[in-house]
Amino acid sequence: MRVRLRLAIVVLPLLFTVQCGGATSSGVPAADAGPLPANPACPGPFGKATPVDGVNTPAYNRGSLTPDERTIYFTVSEDSGTGIWTATRTDRRAAFSPPVPVAGLPIVKVTPSVSDPTWAPQNPTISRNELTIYFAKYRSVKNGPRWMLASASRATSDAAFTLDPEVPIASFPHEVREPFLTADERTLYYSGYENVIARVSSSWQDKAPTVVLENAVRPVLSSDERTMYFLEATNFQMSVATRPNADSRFGAGRAVEELASTDHERSWPDWLSPDGCRIYITRVVLTPGELPIIAPYVAERRR
């Protein structure tokens, strides 16, 4: 698939904004290295991250997989614009088939330097049965919200999506950038422009969002919602935090040092397998004088 780096132009300025502004003094302190949360299925640390074959394009971002890891939905950008794509494979160790745009969702050109009220879909999170997809909508404007939550639904997994009614802006005190749907599909976690991670009922009219972590973006949760991987918003380290139950506030994060960022690489969490043993990440490779390369990787905890 022939891909341009338009997505890098849209996403990376936002990444650097996360580093430079919006953190609060009451947020999570800089993450210290420490052991990963206990997991009897895979008690060891993560091994080396390897490319996800078939969708390893230079303009990939924020993948969401089905529980069997055989179908992926993700953001990509071609000359024709930014949109959400999908691909399938025969098993989780096989290469994905050539990606295709998700039927029913628009592909929109985004030029950050040009004001355009058109919303471009990005950062999908898919339900287990693939009948509902939540995503962030981005538009390039100087005034008003630039990021909003949106969703689409369909009757069968091979049908085209239909956009759901627009989410009222008043339902969210923060712009919604990176939604994550929990395994039971009852809760959405998301990161907002103010570098907070919040949660809300997936039928978001029920109640206002609750902040669960500050100075953090890009949430990825375990099936029981007691472990969360995220990007620490001050030093760009992929971190992990735990809590005793799904109703508690998360404690301070600890760096996932096996997947630590460097001066030339950034690793962002995308999705966690149901058993908590494999984490899919977006890796950004920064080379002086060149456009960044953004591609998907997967790392597995040792058993």
CA distance 221 to 218: 10
Q: What is the largest CA-CA distance in the chain?
A: 51
Region label for 289, one of left (φ > 0), alpha (ψ between -120 and 50) or beta (otherwise): left
**127-140 average pLDDT score:** 90
User: Kindly report the CA angle at 274 between 280 and 213, in degrees rounded to 5?
Assistant: 70
CB 26 within 8 A of CB 214: yes
pTM value is 0.86
pLDDT top residue among 205 and 64: 64
Each residue's pLDDT tens digit, 237-289? 999 999 999 888 888 889 999 998 887 888 999 999 999 999 999 998 888 88
Report pLDDT for 45: 93
Annotate 149-188 with b (16+ C-beta within 10 A) or e (fewer).
Answer: bbbbebeeeeeebeeeeebeeebbebbbbbbbbbbeeebb
What DSSP letter does each residue of 132-157 carry, written as one string?
EEEEEEEEE-SSS-SEEEEEEE-SST
CA atoms within 13 A on the CB side of 198: 22
The answer on pLDDT for 142 being more than 80 is no
> What is the share, in percent, of the chain residues with pLDDT greater than 70?
80
Read off the tokens for 173.
């005190």
Block residue for tokens 């972590």: 213
Each residue's pLDDT tens digit, 65-110? 999 999 999 998 777 788 999 999 999 999 999 999 999 999 988 7
Lowest mean pLDDT among 18-22, 124-128, 235-239, 241-245: 18-22
CA distance 37 to 254: 10
CB 108 within 8 A of CB 101: no
Tell me if residue 267 falls in helix, strand or coil.
Answer: strand
- Domains annotated for the chain, with CATH where assigned, are 6-300 (2.120.10)
Amino acid at 43: P
